[in-house]
Amino acid sequence: MENLSGKVFLITGATDGIGKLTALELAKREATVYIHGRSPERIETTIEEIKESTGNNNIKGYQADFASFSEIRILAEKVLSTPGSLDVLINNAGMGGGEQGNNERTLSQDGFEICFQVNYLSTFLLTHLLLPKLKATPSSKVVNVSSLGQAPIDFNNIMLENDFKELRAYRQSKLAMIMFTIDLAEKLQKEGITVNALHPGSMLNTKIAYGLFGKTFGDAKSGADAIVHLATALELAEVTGKFFDVKRESRALPQAYESDSRTKLWDLSRQWTEVG
């Protein structure tokens, strides 16, 4: 088990499920771990649990609601103002297809279909805002948690005003994450930053899986292991722009490899998030 002392990891959505287990594993390896969550109380509880379990006191928390771009900007400012490097950004925050699992279309604070914003647009924004810190850290990485459950994006109905279905909302947001991964990897290749995405496992015992399907049968720990592997494995140090099914390189839906579709998504994402 590689010692990660001196390395700094930021994990979004890290107060429960796969994100929390990922933070715990990295803390065991003596990394400095920044955890993000939506609830201040859960952030504090998670920090204390990790410290007590691992003896690692280099754990710091950040609060933000991914349904709000203004909160994402505040989060980024706080991370950027924290002294030191940022070696790995793990974009894990996410939700199922509807706010309450009721298969009803819900809008974010910024007026977007909430799953698309929480699972994708806010990650797009946060990653761009943190690029100065990533660029200042040699051999930094971005790891995007996606899924094998993907759906093509209909650019005439991207916010699903017509025929909203919870599972489709979730799946198109996860394909968007992979499309973002491919484009960002290409744009950052000369900066020495790798960007990869993964499916951490099927039907793992997480709130998202239970909310979407009403049952789970996989161990969330295996998903955390896959994330840690992609973030730290020496043999993947120079791999970029790829999608992994757990620990094996895989392929996303064909739309992910269509440059025209990716360009459309990138341009819309920049417009909606007001990224320069």
What is the DSSP track for 152-163? ---TTSTT--SS
Residue 205's SS3 state is: coil
CA distances to 1, 132, 248 from 255, rounded to whole Å, are 37, 30, 20
| CA separation for the pair 270, 121 (Å, rounded) | 9
Q: How many CB atoms are closer than 10 A to CB 258?
A: 14
Q: Which residue has the tokens 């579709």?
A: 261
Give the Å distances, CA to CA, from 195 to 59, 72, 261: 24, 20, 19
* Coil, strand or helix at 62: strand
Q: Would residue 170 show up in a list of annotated catalytic residues for this protein?
A: yes
| CA 158 centroid distance within chain | 20
- CA gap 12, 162 in Å, rounded: 30
Active-site choice (62, 170, 210, 257): 170
Catalytic residues: 170
